[in-house]
Amino acid sequence: MGLVARHLEANGIPTVTFSCARDITAAVRPPRSVFLDYPLGSTCGRPHDPANQRAVILTALALLETGRTAGEIVDLPYEWSADERWKQLIFSPEQPFLSEEAEARRQAGLAAARQAKREIKATSVD
Amino acid sequence: MAPPVRYIEKTQAYYRSVGYPKPYKYARFDSAPFTPLDKPLERCRVGLVATAGVTLLDDDGRPAPMKVLGGEEANVVEIPSDTPVERLVSIEEHYDRHATTVDDVNAFFPISHLQALAGDGTIGGLAPRFQKIFPNYSHRVTLTRDAPVVLAQLQADQVDAALLVPV
C-alpha cells in the first residue's frame, strides 16, 4: 500500500497511509503515515469502538493538512491491551498466521498464477 | 508498553521455518515523494484506497466471490462512497485472527466515519468511488499495473487527497 501512496503522491495527490506494522511502513516510507499499535486487521481503530476509530481518522486528516516532512510517521497513543501477549504470539508455532483453509487457498492462488505465467511464456515463444 | 512487533523479521523467520527458501523482499526507500495539501480539508474531496478484504453484498446479500493473491488479472475494485456500511462485508483472511476481529468494517475501511465527516463539513466531500486493491506479492505488478489504475480514477474524480489503508 505504501507503494501506491508513493505513486499517487509523486503524481500530485497528497496521501496519508494508516499502519499497524511500523517496521514495514518505516522501510517503504510512504509520504505520511499514522501508526496504530494494534493487531493487523484493525488498522483504523478498535472494532466496535467508533470513538476510537474517529480519533484515529481525525489524526490522519490532521497530518494530511499540517504535515510538512516527507516520510513522517505519527505514532498514535492508543494501547490495544494492558497484556501484550498478542505481540509475542504473532507468527509463533502455536498461532499460524493463516487458518489451514486460508493457507490452502493462498497456495492454490500462487499455483494458478505460476501456471498462468508459464502459459504466457509458452505462447510468447511460439 | 512493549515495542511494536517486528513483522519483517517475524515473517521471514516464519516462512523460512515452513520451508520457503527465499525471503520475501520488502520494499525499501531512503526518501519519500511529497505533495503538500494546497487547500483546507473542508474544501477537499477525499478518497479512500484499501487493500483490506472488503466486498459489496449483492441484492441477495451474497458477497462477491473472493480472489486469491498472486493473480494476473486487473486488481482494482470500485466501491461507491455512498454505500451504507451494512452492504459491505469483510472477506479478509490476512489479519491477526487470534487477537482481533474483522466483523466491524469501519475498523479497517472507515466508510461511515468518512460519510459523517463529509456530512458535517470537516472535509469538503468524498470521491464518488473508493478503491479496493487486491494485494500482490510483486512490487512491479503493484506499481506498473494497479497503482496507475488508482491514480487515473482519482484524477478522473478530481480527488484532492487520499487515505490509504493496508490490511
Of all residues in chain B, what percent carry a pLDDT higher than 90? Answer: 51
Is the per-residue pLDDT at B66 higher than 60?
no
Q: Which chain B positions have a beta carbon within 8 Å of A91's beta carbon?
A: 10-11, 13-14
Residue A46 to residue B107, Cβ atoms within 8 A: yes
Element of type H or E holding A108: helix A100-125
CA dist., res. B73 & res. B67, Å (int): 10
Q: How far is CA A18 from the centre of its chain?
A: 7
How is residue A19 written as a grid cell?
499502519
Mean pLDDT for the stretch of residues A29-56: 96
What's the confidence (pLDDT) of residue A120? 77
What's the confidence (pLDDT) of residue A60? 98
Of all residues in chain B, what percent carry a pLDDT higher than 70? Answer: 93
Nearest-Cα distance to chain A for B59, in Å, is 25
Q: Which chain A positions have a beta carbon within 8 Å of B148's beta carbon?
A: 7
Averaged pLDDT score across all residues of chain B: 87
Is the per-residue pLDDT at B53 higher than 60?
yes
CA dist., res. B94 & res. A109, Å (int): 14
Q: Which chain B positions have a beta carbon within 8 Å of A106's beta carbon?
A: 68-69, 93
pTM for this prediction: 0.87
- When computed from its CA atoms, the radius of gyration of chain B, rounded to whole angstroms, is 18
Beta-bridge partner residues of B78: B131
Is residue B1 less than 8 Å (CB to CB) from chain A? Answer: yes
Nearest-Cα distance to chain A for B129, in Å, is 16
What's the confidence (pLDDT) of residue A27? 95
Residue A41 to residue B28, Cβ atoms within 8 A: no
Residue B98 to residue A89, Cβ atoms within 8 A: yes
pLDDT tens sequence across B68-113:
554 555 578 889 999 999 999 887 777 888 888 888 999 999 999 9
DSSP secondary structure letters along A40-87: TT-TTS-TT-HHHHHHHHHHHHHHHHH--STTEEEEP---S-S--HHH
CA dist., res. B42 & res. A65, Å (int): 10
Averaged pLDDT score across all residues of chain A: 89
Size of interface A-B (CB pairs under 8 A): 258
Mean pLDDT for the stretch of residues A63-73: 96
Mean pLDDT for the stretch of residues A5-20: 97
Residue B68 to residue A19, Cβ atoms within 8 A: no
The pairing of beta strand B129-133 with beta strand B76-80? antiparallel
* CA angle (A111, A117, A121) in 5-degree steps: 145
CA nearest neighbour of A78 among A24, A17, A41, A35? A35
CA nearest neighbour of B124 among B2, B38, B36? B38
Of A14, A29, A90, the CB nearest to B35: A14
The DSSP output letter for B48 is E
pLDDT tens sequence across A81-107:
988 888 988 877 777 667 677 777 777
Mean pLDDT for the stretch of residues A69-85: 94
Beta-bridge partner residues of B163: A16, B48
CA nearest neighbour of B110 among A51, A44, A69? A44
Of A23, A47, A65, the CB nearest to B37: A65
b (16+ CB within 10 A) / e for A104-114? ebbeebeeebe
Residue B35 to residue A13, Cβ atoms within 8 A: yes
What's the confidence (pLDDT) of residue B52? 79
Q: Which chain A positions have a beta carbon within 8 Å of B160's beta carbon?
A: 13-14
pLDDT tens sequence across A114-124:
787 788 777 76
Q: Establish how many alpha carbons lie within 13 A of residue A46's alpha carbon, considering only the half-sphere containing its beta carbon.
A: 12
CA dist., res. B131 & res. B80, Å (int): 9
What's the confidence (pLDDT) of residue B114? 98
pLDDT tens sequence across B125-145:
999 999 998 877 778 878 888
Residue B72 to residue A113, Cβ atoms within 8 A: yes
Of A8, A57, A70, the CB nearest to B154: A8
Mean pLDDT for the stretch of residues B26-45: 95
Of B27, B67, B122, the CB nearest to A2: B27
What's the confidence (pLDDT) of residue A43? 94
Residues found in chain A: 126
